[in-house]
Amino acid sequence: MPFERYMAPVSGSSDAAIEEELIRLRTELDSEYDLREVAHRFGQSDFTFLSVLDSYALLDRIDPAEFVKDEQMPYWAEIWPAAVTLSRQIVETGELAGKSVLELGAGVGMASIAAARSGARVLCTDYSTEALRFVAYNAMLNRVALDTCRLDWRMVKGNEKFDAVIAADVLYERVNLLPIVTAIDALLAPGGAAFIADPRRRLADQFLELVHENGFEVAETRMFDADGDQTVAVTIYKMQRAKV
């Protein structure tokens, strides 16, 4: 069963049509959220991203019944340092150019948009439909074409495979570790690679144990990125199936 894709209206659209849709979406988002817009430069490319000013303010909007069922926090609403580092790495290496890419837990879509700008064919996914509205806006704002899809990494269905799977700062709860490994295994095409960026959380070691137990080899790239006045250490784990 294929993914149910939605395309941000960029490819084939006129500049006027894109601007009109941007204004419409921005008006909607302004009426629902306090917003912040940030600029980043990755390689020789300039980007602008819209996110929520204060994700903690969204806690009051969570339905208690839904929270008991899913325990989903609004982590999607922020741009985390690991996403910045992964995006920079994607653009500067050009490693994903021409490849099919799926992002898990994309939030507002920074890494997916960086991959699309680099020439990848991108399916940007998140569990939150709220997040995907920001992805659509940010894709149009940065003039890139990508597809979006709601995806629960605990229940990946379908036979479609991707050359690369990417994710940033998703190793924050122990209960997610095995589902993420299983999702990557289900989504990755033969010979493909997954790139997981993590700010060296304690759970990363447990994640790596599961990765090795499930037949993957891992190469680590340690990087540093600025976050305001602080320097954040981020490790990008490149996962590939072990050669038999």
Query: pLDDT in tens for each of the 244 residues of the chain?
Result: 456 666 666 666 688 889 999 999 999 999 999 999 999 999 999 999 999 988 766 766 666 555 545 556 778 999 999 999 999 999 999 999 999 999 999 999 999 999 999 999 999 999 999 999 999 999 999 999 999 999 999 999 888 999 999 999 999 899 999 999 999 999 999 999 999 999 988 899 999 999 999 999 999 999 887 666 678 899 999 999 998 7
Q: What is the pLDDT of residue 71?
A: 57
CA distance 31 to 203: 37
Q: What is the pLDDT of residue 1?
A: 45
Torsion of Cα atoms, 170 then 173 then 176 then 181, to 10°: 60
Q: Angle CA(223)–CA(227)–CA(233) in degrees, nearest 5? A: 25
Q: Encoding tokens for residue 199?
A: 């700010």
54: helix, strand or coil: coil
Spatial contact of 10 and 18, defined as CB atoms under 8 Å apart:
yes
Nearest to 73 by CA among 83, 85, 63, 86: 63
| Burial status of residue 117 (CB atoms within 10 A of its CB: 0-12, 13-18, 19 or more) | buried
Q: What is the pLDDT of residue 54?
A: 80
Q: What is the pLDDT of residue 91?
A: 97
Contacts of 74 (CB under 8 A, 6+ apart): 52, 55, 58, 59, 61, 62, 128, 130
Domains of the chain in sequence order = 6-241 (3.40.50.150)
